[in-house]
Copies of this chain bind each other. A is one copy, B any other.
């Protein structure tokens, strides 16, 4: 047996972010978030961390380096005028898309960088951490603390991408490597019947308080990206929300009913994608023989972070495009919720769920929620909403290069809500707006149905 073995699940990976709430001291929080990134690449080879499997994905090594660069560029360079970058060339190599900062290595070529090695990059991170520790040892103005928090939130986003990009890479390999040792399969149990939670609608407050005043009161209101605000009111009509996401078993029914063969179920652009890409099932689904999953293929299997596994019929379906989520809702005679509906329903729930540092690293089935509230709003799968990612009324991007963070992507993407099994604990909040293009499928993205309450 020649192959490198996957790492067993261990304590290093489980719940390392326990101390990372916004209440933690900045230095403690910095260490915890940064350590989690390093934990994620344990067991990966230099090659695993280097290869880029598609333009949308980045190498694990690049995620590690880019998040270090972010602290160099936006925190250290500003707060420590004498600070010298570990390697001046990294400013070019590890800038992602900040036009204000200068030219950068083209995204589709990130996987051609076999040097610096993974070990070099870990040394780079250590050097940045040392400089940051010095900075964090002293008193810091609020603006710097806010940039550090932005850097940590940014790193948590890349932790999720690191996992989903790695899954995509391993899925391209006919050997189907496992990132971690497969856990015991969950006990077989059907998903609870689909219940519906009603909401009266009306005039509702939406979004985070990201105004000028809020900035000084960040401790109270917590962190939010600029695109989550300004807080504002919207008018909602009465609606009902499904008590759980759509399950793998339900998705199999959609397939069996010709869901991927009937153009009238799809948006025009979605049907083009179905035909051009030959979609017949969610990304990563396959049959017993490892071939693309088709209508008559029986129990679905799928590539996961544990290699190819049988899918739990009761668990939320994942790795869907917006087009698929939208088509399913049409087939079911329902619709996707708007992001406002989702937020109103989630606002008062605790931000708990199956996040990455639980160690499950895949969507899990859950029992019927009690108390008349929807279940699994956080974790498991990101939920596609019907809402294009656009500016809230009065939106103004932050000044300087960090203003390129969200605003320039407000076109052709749709909002997803709630986080997934690859999102680190402490990263989510009710107002959190994730966004992807409607054809993208490599995230842990699923859906929850909604309907008008007549």
Chain A residues within CB distance 8 Å of chain B: 2-4, 45-51, 53, 86-87, 89, 92-93, 97, 99-100, 105, 109, 111-118, 120, 123-124, 169-170, 172-175, 177, 203, 232-235, 237, 263-264, 266-271, 322-323, 326, 386-388, 390-391, 393-394, 404, 408-412, 438, 452
Contact = CB atoms under 8 A, between A and B. Distances in A.
B177 A115 contact: yes
A3 B115 contact: yes
Nearest to A109: B172
A323 B99 CA distance: 17
Nearest to A2: B120
A48 B3 contact: no
Contacts of A53: 112
A47 B412 contact: no
A388 B388 contact: yes
Contact of A408 (B47, B111, B268, B391): B268
Nearest to A390: B388
A124 to B, nearest CB: 6
Q: Which of A99, A112, A267 has the most CB of B within 10 A?
A: A112
B173 A113 contact: yes
A175 B237 CA distance: 52
Given A2-B120, A97-B268, 6 more contacts: A2-B116, A46-B46, A47-B47, A114-B169, A386-B391, A388-B388
B97 A264 contact: no
A4 B120 contact: yes
Contacts of A175: 89, 93, 113, 115-116
Contact of A114 (B45, B112, B387): B45
18 contacts: A2-B124, A4-B117, A47-B51, A51-B112, A53-B112, A93-B174, A97-B268, A99-B263, A99-B271, A112-B172, A113-B173, A114-B169, A114-B170, A115-B173, A234-B235, A235-B235, A266-B408, A388-B388
B267 A174 contact: no
Contact of A412 (B113, B114, B269, B387): B269
Contacts of A387: 390
A235 B394 contact: no
B393 A117 contact: no
A362 to B, nearest CB: 21
Contacts of A124: 2
Nearest to A403: B264
A267 B114 contact: no
Nearest to A44: B114
A168 to B, nearest CB: 10
A452 B86 CA distance: 44
B47 A118 contact: yes
Contacts of A177: 114-115
Contacts of A326: 411
A173 B203 contact: no
Nearest to A322: B411
Contact of A235 (B112, B203, B237, B452): B203
B174 A105 contact: yes
B117 A45 contact: yes
Contacts of A174: 89, 92-93, 105
Contacts of A112: 51, 53, 169, 172-173
A3 B404 CA distance: 31
A67 B266 CA distance: 25
Contacts of A45: 46, 114-115, 117
Q: Which of A50, A123, A404 has the most CB of B within 10 A?
A: A50
Contacts of A390: 386-388
